[in-house]
A and B are shown apart, each in its own frame.
Chain A
Amino acid sequence: MTNSRRKRWGLTIAGGAVAMAMFFPILWMFITSFKTEITAVATPPAVFFRPTLENYAAVLERADYLAFARNSIVVSLGATLLALALAIPAAYSMAFFPSRRTRDILLWMLSTKMLPAVGVLVPVYLLWRDLGLLDTVFGLILIDSISVLPIVVWMLFSFFREVPAVILEASRMDGASQTEELVNVLLPLCTPGIAATALLSVILCWNEAFWSLNLTTVKAATLTAFTASFSSPEGLFWAKLSAASTLSIAPILIFGWLSQRQIVRGLSFGAVK
């Protein structure tokens, strides 16, 4: 009895230590966001201090922060909606009307994800320049939606496949068209799965850095680009950086925590259910 209690204590301490070690950088940033710029760089690091909200006020007062935040929201929601609009019919078709080539198509979609972004940076940059899409929100929506599309199709496919085909056949017998069947029967049945897929897509687009850093400058720059701009001056704006970062990651962290179990499917391309 005492042995197993000691084991439980040991596990609790080990688990707590690991959790603390992994979470510490985020926690430290969160704490720093309530310091003044002076206490933020104090040595030894200040643990007890009078918390202030002035950094958050300063960040929110800057009109450009809100513009970056708006771009992030519009880009991640827009790209997610576009990806879902393309992927839902595709996943439905492959899940319920598989053909000889379904397996190959799914693998091929996955393979487009393997093309390293840097490999096509130059042509995409030039194309976007010539099409007038550089530094536009729409240009970023296009590229983000196409880069999450394979993951979204795979994830939806794995959710759709769990719906027994009999249910759809029953509605078909009642004379429903294919579109009605998809919209009225399948989508309501799969709402949790679609929601999880949408969340993963929003998370990936929100955190996407490669294209936002390379294809935007000011007008369409997202929060990833905004926070990156804090890297250039070695300047002592850690408290403000922390406040801006906390605001930028909080919504996505909460989304991630809420949907962690479901999004594993999309992240592993269906390998883990």
Chain B
Amino acid sequence: MTGAAATKPAYSRHSRALLAPSVVALFLWMIVPLAMTLWFSAERYNLLSPGKNSFAGWGNYRDLLAHRALWVAMGNTLLLVGLVLVITLFFGTLFSLLLDQDFPGRNLCRLLVIAPFFVMPTVSALIWKNMLMNPVFGLFAWITRSVGLGAIEYFSHMPLLSIVLIVGWEWTPFAVLILLPALQSLNPEQVEAARLDGAGPVALFRHIQLPHLLRPMAVVAMIEMIFLLSLFAEIYVTTGGGPGLASTNLAYLIFRDALLGWDVGRASAGGVIAIVLANIVVLFLMRVAGRNLEDVR
């Protein structure tokens, strides 16, 4: 007992040293770019006119806020995240309920359903853009033409919805990946008891399965929000934000200002706005994640 007590302080000092590299790396990663973004956002700074930096104060923010582009991009960002969330949670739950049933080949079905999540986003976007949704040679165009509807120019007539469709397809498997094991972890006796009490499938879902799924659903929603707020590759590959601003989200707007317009100041101000938006989401997420840690110490 005394031996263990004597070694304890040495151990805990040592374990703090083990923790340090990760903490320092993440701290630097968080604080340095963040400070720089804040700093640049208050500067007039364009890479095309070097040496002409000057203090802009709120200038960049005023410019951004006065421009229609920011508001359109923010609206698109929220619409994109919201629609994809609804689609993935709805189909994710539906598919999980189906794959939770016992039928021959369900393991194979599960593998096929989760596959899209592992495809790199640029490839997913290109498959859909070219082989499925191309208005001349695409499969969808052939189908709609054969039933007499004519071909639809998906990316010029409904650019944002087309991207929602692609991203929804990419992220529904993620919902299944999380929700299906959650469903399977439900106590079978509880389900059996409800059945014996005469609960039909709807009542079973409503009163037993859905309450059990709420927390995993919240996790799915949070993690998708983190990734979807920065959605970039799919837009870059398919519409390039257009036509006009129709499919430009905040991430793409910042990219356009920064790496196409070389306007560091304005892009940074956009970055700060993106961070604030994300943090509103984070506050919510932290609560959910915190609950999972209640048993630590």
Contact = CB atoms under 8 A, between A and B. Distances in A.
Contacts of B115: 22-23, 26, 253, 256-257
B259 A214 contact: yes
Contacts of A172: 7
Interface string A139-166: 0000000100110010000000000000
A116 B126 CA distance: 24
Interface residues of A, number: 99
B19 A93 contact: yes
Contacts of A268: 178, 216, 219-220, 223
Contact of B232 (A11, A28, A111, A210): A210
28 contacts: A16-B105, A22-B169, A25-B116, A28-B131, A97-B11, A106-B293, A107-B290, A114-B226, A116-B230, A116-B274, A118-B255, A122-B37, A122-B264, A123-B268, A153-B22, A209-B120, A210-B230, A227-B123, A231-B236, A245-B127, A249-B119, A252-B119, A260-B177, A268-B216, A268-B219, A272-B181, A272-B182, A272-B185
Contacts of A93: 15-16, 18-19
Contacts of A94: 19
A118 B282 contact: no
A28 B134 CA distance: 14
B37 A272 contact: no
B69 interface: no
Contacts of B101: 11, 15
B160 interface: no
B109 A15 contact: yes
B251 interface: yes
Contacts of B289: 107, 110, 269, 271
Nearest to A129: B47
Interface of B: 7, 11-12, 14-16, 18-19, 21-23, 25-26, 29-30, 32-34, 36-37, 40, 95, 98-99, 101-106, 108-132, 137, 139, 142, 146, 169, 172-174, 177-178, 181-182, 185, 215-216, 219-220, 223, 226, 229-230, 232-233, 236-238, 250-251, 254-255, 258-259, 264, 267-268, 270-272, 274-275, 277-279, 281-282, 285-286, 288-290, 292-293, 296-297
B297 A102 contact: yes
B223 A267 contact: yes
Given A87-B22, A123-B36, A238-B130, A15 B106 contact: yes
Nearest to A241: B126
Contact of B109 (A18, A260, A261): A18
B292 A112 contact: no
A69 interface: no
Contacts of A184: none
B275 A119 contact: yes
B123 A249 contact: yes
Interface string A244-273: 010011001101110011001001111111
Given A90-B18, A121-B258, A178 B11 contact: yes
A86 B271 contact: no
Q: Which of A117, A241, A273 is packed against the most chain B CB atoms within 10 Å?
A: A117
A249 B126 contact: no
Contacts of A44: 142, 146
